[in-house]
């Protein structure tokens, strides 16, 4: 009978970061994972470490994001070592391009709200400053300006996930993919976890970090956490000479020279990950307006993934009132928040008390608000 200090249910970016953080702190950790049949966001995301658009209307989320960004350099160094190669974390600043005066005015209003909510690093830059900031970048004539945050950046998300799993193993943790969790029951001071393959494990503490399956699994430990799938499509081009030195919210040049273009926000509730020609064409057309040379670039890959989205679009964290030692963690910003998940959130699971910012993101807020569909941010 296998017993663990912490069982994490979900082997994506959120669950693995928390599991790694707990293992680093001396816990005997197992990460349970459905395996390749899982509808993962972790293997289909855009790779931004991004603060400028996070937390509008929820200052705690903005502050939680900024804390994670502050912790990111140390995480990147450590995880690169585990991965055996650079995770390509580049905190070079990030942009949200505007292709008309109307878009720029709307973005300026957004930045003003962010300042009022405590996010003072983001600002508006005009076309002249953009060109000075990125000399030689072949911006299209419609680019009139952008919002810019010098603390933003990007990373190779697949290498990050590889490094987190390697760090988990290095600290003695175990990854057990291959079956979903079907039951959790308190038994003699522990929790018994039963999987669909019939295997049973025991743990003192549980973290539900199951992405789009969070609602189902969290209910097993007395937590009501509504989560729905929001699909996002991405494009990757062939490798190009350097043309975009800073990442943007829907276009970035990766460390290997490819251009990644995204992302859609398809809120139709369907648990499938198809790509569609219409959506890919729309994304590509806007990217060409930003960088006209992309009109001659070949697309080599496209994909879709499902983001786990709460009713208000913000993360949710809690310890169960009915099942002490059982936690939930769900968000659509698993890359950006990896550093706080491996740090303060892991500390909370280990018994250190929920960080005050995470405590403000309790899912009990959903009972007080009408369910509304919001875009990914």
Tell me the average pLDDT across 237-251: 96
pLDDT for 375: 47
pLDDT for 101: 97
Dihedral of CA atoms 56, 96, 109, 133 in degrees, nearest 10, equals 120
Given a cut of 90, whether residue 236 has pLDDT beyond it is yes
pLDDT for 91: 97
Given a cut of 50, whether residue 43 has pLDDT beyond it is yes
**Per-residue burial over 56-79, b = 16 or more CB atoms within 10 Å of its CB, e = otherwise:** bebbbbbbbbbbbbebbeebbebb
pLDDT for 40: 63
CA distance 323 to 366: 20
pLDDT for 305: 87
User: What pLDDT digit, counting tens, does each position of 200-226 carry?
Assistant: 999 999 999 999 999 999 999 999 999
Strand partners, 95: 148, 248
Given a cut of 90, whether residue 38 has pLDDT beyond it is no
User: What pLDDT digit, counting tens, does each position of 55-85 carry?
Assistant: 999 999 999 999 999 999 999 999 999 999 9
User: What pLDDT digit, counting tens, does each position of 352-371 carry?
Assistant: 899 999 999 999 999 876 65
Those residues whose C-beta lies under 8 Å from the C-beta of residue 370, and which sit 6 or more positions away, are none
Q: Is 100 left (phi over 0), alpha (psi -120 to 50) or beta?
A: beta
Residue predicted with more confidence, 189 or 135 = 135
pLDDT for 111: 96
Tell me the average pLDDT across 141-158: 97
Range from 43-57, 137-151, 306-320 carrying the lowest mean pLDDT: 43-57
User: What pLDDT digit, counting tens, does each position of 87-126 carry?
Assistant: 999 999 999 999 999 999 999 999 999 999 999 999 999 9
174-177 and 29-33 as β-strands: parallel, antiparallel, unpaired? parallel
Only one residue has tokens 């990914």, namely: 376
Work out the pLDDT band at 376, boundaries 50, 70, 90.
very low
> Which pTM was predicted?
0.94
Rounded to the nearest integer, the mean pLDDT of the chain is: 93
The 3-class secondary structure across the chain, one letter per residue, is CCEEEEEEECCCHHHHHHHHHHHHCCCCEEEEECCCCCCCCCCCCCCEECCCCCCCCCHHHHHHHHHHHHHHHHHHHHHHHHHCCCCCCECCCEEEEECCHHHHHHHHHHHHHHHHCCCCCCEEEEHHHHHHHCCCCCCCCCCCEEEEECCCEECCHHHHHHHHHHHHHHCCCEEEECCCEEEEEEECCEEEEEECCCCEEEEEEEEECCHHHHHHHHHCCCCCCCCEEEEEEEEEEEECCCCCCCCECCEEECCCCEEEEECCCECCCCCCCCCCHHHHHHHHHHHHHHCHHHHHCCEEEEEEEEEEECCCCCCEEEECCCCCCEEEEECCCCCCCHHHHHHHHHHHHHHHCCCHHHHCCCHHHHHHCCCCCCCCC
User: What pLDDT digit, counting tens, does each position of 260-300 carry?
Assistant: 998 788 887 766 778 899 999 999 999 999 999 999 999 99
Do residues 250 and 95 lie in contact, with contact meaning Cβ atoms separated by under 8 Å? no
326-330 and 200-208 as β-strands: parallel, antiparallel, unpaired? parallel
Residue predicted with more confidence, 30 or 189 = 30
């Amino acid at each position: 009978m296998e017993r663990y200090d912490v069982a994490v249910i979900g082997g994506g970016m959120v669950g693995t970061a928390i599991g790694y953080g707990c293992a680093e702190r001396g816990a005997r950790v197992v990460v349970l994972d459905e395996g390749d049949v899982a509808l993962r966001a972790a293997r289909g995301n855009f790779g931004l470490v991004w603060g400028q658009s996070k937390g509008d209307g929820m200052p705690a989320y903005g502050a939680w994001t900024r804390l994670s960004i502050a912790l990111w350099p140390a995480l990147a160094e450590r995880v690169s070592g585990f991965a055996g190669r650079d995770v390509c974390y580049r905190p070079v600043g990030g942009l949200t391009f505007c292709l008309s005066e109307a878009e720029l005015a709307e973005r300026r209003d957004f930045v003003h709200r962010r300042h009022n909510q405590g996010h003072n690093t983001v600002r508006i830059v005009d076309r002249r400053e953009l060109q000075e900031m990125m000399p030689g970048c072949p911006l299209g004539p419609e680019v009139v300006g952008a919002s810019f945050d010098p603390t933003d950046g990007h990373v190779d998300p697949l290498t990050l996930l590889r490094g987190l799993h390697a760090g988990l193993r290095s600290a003695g943790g175990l990854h057990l993919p291959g079956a979903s969790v079907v039951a959790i029951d308190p038994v003699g001071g522990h929790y018994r976890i039963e999987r669909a393959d019939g295997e049973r494990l025991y743990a003192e503490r549980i973290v539900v970090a199951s992405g789009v399956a969070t609602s189902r699994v969290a209910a097993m430990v007395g937590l009501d956490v509504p989560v729905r799938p929001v699909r996002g499509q991405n494009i990757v081009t062939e490798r190009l000479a350097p043309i975009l030195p800073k990442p943007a919210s829907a276009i970035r040049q990766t460390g290997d020279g490819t251009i990644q273009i995204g992302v859609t926000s398809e809120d139709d509730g369907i648990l499938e990950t198809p790509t569609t020609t219409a959506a890919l064409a729309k994304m590509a057309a806007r990217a060409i307006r930003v960088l006209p040379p992309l009109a001659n670039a070949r697309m080599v890959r496209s994909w879709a993934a499902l983001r786990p989205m709460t009713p208000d679009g913000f993360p949710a964290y809690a310890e169960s009132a009915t099942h002490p030692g059982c936690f939930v963690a769900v968000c659509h910003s698993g890359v950006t928040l990896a550093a706080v998940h491996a740090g303060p959130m892991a500390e909370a699971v280990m018994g250190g008390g929920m960080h005050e910012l995470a405590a403000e993101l309790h899912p009990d807020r959903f009972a007080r608000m009408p369910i509304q569909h919001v875009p990914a941010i």
